Chains A and B, each alone.
Chain A
Amino acid sequence: MTGTDREAFRLEGVTKRFGDFVALSDVSLRVDRGEMIGLIGPSGAGKTTLLRILAGMLQPSEGRTLVGGHMVAKLSRLELRAVRRATGFIHQSLDLVPELRVVSNVLAGRLGFGGLWEALRLLTWPRRDDLVEVHRCLERVALTEKMYERSSKLSGGQAQRVAIARVLFQDPTAILADEPVSAVDPARARDLLEILARINAETGKTIVVSLHAIDLARRHCGRLIGMREGRIFFDRKAEEVTDAELDRLYDLGGAVT
Chain B
Amino acid sequence: MIPSVAIRRTWGPTSTFLLALGLATFLALWQLDFLGGSFSAPGGLSEFRRFFAAALRPTMTSANTGTSILPDLREALGTTVFVAFAAMGLALVVGFVFGCLASESLWERDPVVMETAVGRVAQRALLPTWLVAIRAVMAFLRSIHEIFWALLFTALFGLSLVCGILALAIPYAATLGRIYAEIIDETPRDAARAIRGAGGGRAATFLVGLLPRAAGSILSYSFYRFDCALRSSSILGFVGFTTIGLNIRTAANYDHYQEVWTYLYALFALLVATEVLSGALRRRIAAWR
> B-contacting residues of A (Cβ < 8 Å)?
55-59, 72-77, 80-85, 87-89, 91, 93, 95-100, 104, 108-116, 118-120, 122-123, 150, 152, 166, 170, 172
Contact = CB atoms under 8 A, between A and B. Distances in A.
Contact of A99 (B199, B201, B212): B212
Contacts of A84: 196-199
Contact of A81 (B111, B199, B208, B212): B199
Given A73-B114, A91-B190, A97-B191, A57 B207 contact: no
Given A58-B112, A88-B198, A97 B208 contact: yes
Residues of B in contact with A, size category: 20 to 34
B111 A57 contact: yes
A108 B110 CA distance: 19
Contact of A97 (B111, B201, B209): B209
Interface of B: 110-114, 190-191, 193-201, 203-205, 207-209, 212-213, 215-216, 288-289
Q: Is the interface of A mostly helix, strand, loop or mixed?
A: helix
B198 A119 contact: no
A82 B199 contact: yes
Nearest to A59: B112
Contacts of A122: 208
Contacts of A74: 114
B198 A91 contact: no
A24 to B, nearest CB: 15
27 contacts: A56-B197, A59-B112, A77-B110, A77-B113, A84-B198, A85-B198, A95-B190, A95-B191, A95-B193, A95-B194, A97-B213, A98-B288, A99-B212, A99-B288, A99-B289, A108-B195, A111-B195, A111-B204, A113-B199, A116-B201, A116-B203, A119-B203, A119-B207, A119-B208, A123-B208, A152-B288, A172-B198
Contacts, number: 109
Given A77-B113, A152-B289, A172-B198, 15 more contacts: A56-B112, A73-B114, A75-B114, A84-B196, A84-B197, A85-B199, A88-B198, A95-B194, A96-B191, A97-B208, A99-B288, A109-B198, A112-B198, A116-B201, A170-B198
Contacts of A111: 195, 198-201, 204-205, 208
A80 B115 CA distance: 13
A115 B207 CA distance: 10
Nearest to A86: B199
**Pairs of residues from A and B, 10 with the lowest C-beta to C-beta distance, nearest first:** A112-B199, A95-B194, A119-B204, A85-B199, A84-B199, A111-B200, A116-B203, A81-B199, A119-B207, A99-B212
Contacts of B209: 97, 108
Contacts of B193: 57, 95
Contacts of A112: 195, 198-201
B197 A55 contact: yes
Contacts of A95: 190-191, 193-194
A116 to B, nearest CB: 4
A116 B198 contact: no
Given A96-B191, A99-B288, A108-B195, A57 B112 contact: yes
A114 B215 contact: no
A97 B196 CA distance: 13
B289 A98 contact: yes
Contact of A72 (B112, B194, B207, B208): B112
A123 B198 CA distance: 17
Contact of A115 (B112, B190, B204, B215): B204
B285 to A, nearest CB: 9
Contacts of B195: 108, 111-112
Contacts of B197: 55-57, 84, 87, 89
A110 B207 CA distance: 14
A97 to B, nearest CB: 5
Q: Which of B198, B212, B289 has the most CB of A within 10 A?
A: B198
Contacts of B194: 89, 91, 95
B204 A80 contact: no
Nearest to B199: A112
A80 B112 contact: yes
A251 B63 CA distance: 92
A109 B198 CA distance: 7
Contacts of A116: 201, 203-204, 207
A82 B213 CA distance: 26
A146 B204 CA distance: 25
